[in-house]
Amino acid sequence: MTAWFNGLVLREPGARPAVAELHLPEVGPGQVRIKVRAAGVCHSDLSMVNGTIRPSYPLVLGHEASGEVVEVGERVTRAAVGDHVVLNWQPACRNCWFCEGGEPWLCSTSSGVASLENGITLDGVPVHVGLGLGAFAEQVVAPENAVVRVPSELDFERAALLGCGVLTGFGAVRNTAQVAAGESVVVIGLGGVGLSVVAAARAAGASDVIAVDVSEAKKGLAESAGATDFVVSSDTLSKEIRGRTSGRGADHAFECVGRAATIRAAWRATRRGGKVTVVGMGSNDDQVTLSALDIFSSNRTLRSSVYGQADQDIEIPSLAADVLSGKLSLDHLITDRITLPEVAEAFDRMSRGEGARSVVII
């Protein structure tokens, strides 16, 4: 079965993405067709627009999404028509060295795939899909391991957020940093991921959750997510953090921006022996410089958290259950509900540091 559908296409970096009519490929063996119902506007999408990440173009944007399975190919066992699913932009092959070693978030098959061709065409020309999905579209065709079933009781809007921002933020706290009750946490950058880190740190029992952003307007969102303190970022940030943590600095710092300057700020805001977790994805040419003496004498740990170091097949359903039980609230994350043609304006708001997550209702 083939079909025409609308999708948001970026023809080249720096251009304005626009809705275009695309040709959807047939569903092959091991593949499923999903009717996309909701998709979050993530900073990784903006990075593809502004050229920080340079996939192949033209490109259908979008990767944080949920929807309903409407067709399955031969030999599909993970999904059936009618299932509600969250899309997984880094599906594990379960056969490579990393997957067999218990690190599916580093799967050598899908890790680092910024875009790929999957049979979609625009005026007869092949079009790539962002992070293997291209979810700013009415429908997608994806391999069955790229969908994770969730209960139909969970609305599509909140389900979509589980596919990237929420999983990344909660995984960074639980899996990578392993924040313990009573520890202090500073979170730099309060987009959808940063706010999820704030909520996860609070849920872990952190004594102090200090939220940091360049915009004073993020204070209310930070408090809704569970922050105990809010600080507007400045050149004196490390001094400010030490003043709120008995003069030592925080036990944990989470950098959710993806810039060398904020990584260094997170480093300086952390106590000796503390942990710095880089969650934001930056550009290849933005170099982080630390002195050799500082690295030795501070005894800090610096590491990244890729997709929250999560096994998506296990943790997405677990997060969905927490949302349905009321243990986890995501309402504060959705600050705008938009349509496909309005995604370009959502990127503008994100560039200005406004809001948390815009969710496309399809």
pLDDT in tens, 259-270: 999 999 999 999
In the numeric block, which tokens belong to residue 352? 């200005």
Give the residue extent of every domain in the chain: 3-149+330-361, 166-306
Residues 6+ apart with CB under 8 A from 277: 172, 176, 177, 252, 253, 254, 255, 303, 304, 305
pLDDT(123) > 90 = no
pLDDT(5) > 60 = yes
Task: Assign domain 3-149+330-361 one CATH number from 2.160.10.10, 3.30.70.20, 3.90.228.20, 3.90.180.10.
Answer: 3.90.180.10
Q: What is the pTM of this model?
A: 0.94
Residue 78: left (phi > 0), alpha (psi -120 to 50), or beta? alpha
- Encoded amino acid at 151, one letter: P
pLDDT in tens, 284-295: 899 999 999 999
pLDDT in tens, 158-171: 999 999 999 999 99
Fold of domain 166-306? Rossmann fold (3.40.50)
Average pLDDT over residues 51-58: 89
Q: Report the range of poorest mean pLDDT among 109-123, 222-236, 248-262.
A: 109-123
pLDDT(88) > 50 = yes
Q: Where does the pLDDT of residue 122 fall: very low under 50, low under 70, confident under 90, or very high at 90 and above?
A: confident
Q: What is the pLDDT of residue 1?
A: 45
pLDDT in tens, 184-195: 999 999 999 999
d(CA 189, CA 197): 10
Average pLDDT over residues 308-313: 96
pLDDT(349) > 50 = yes
The DSSP secondary structure of 2-66, one letter per residue, reads -EEEEEEEE-STTSPPEEEEEEEPPP-TTEEEEEEEEEE--HHHHHHHHTSS---SSEE---EEE
Q: What is the pLDDT of residue 53?
A: 86
pLDDT in tens, 177-223: 999 999 999 999 999 999 999 999 999 999 999 999 999 999 999 99
Average pLDDT over residues 303-325: 96
- Encoded amino acid at 251, one letter: D
Backbone angles phi, psi at 60, to 5 degrees: -85, 120
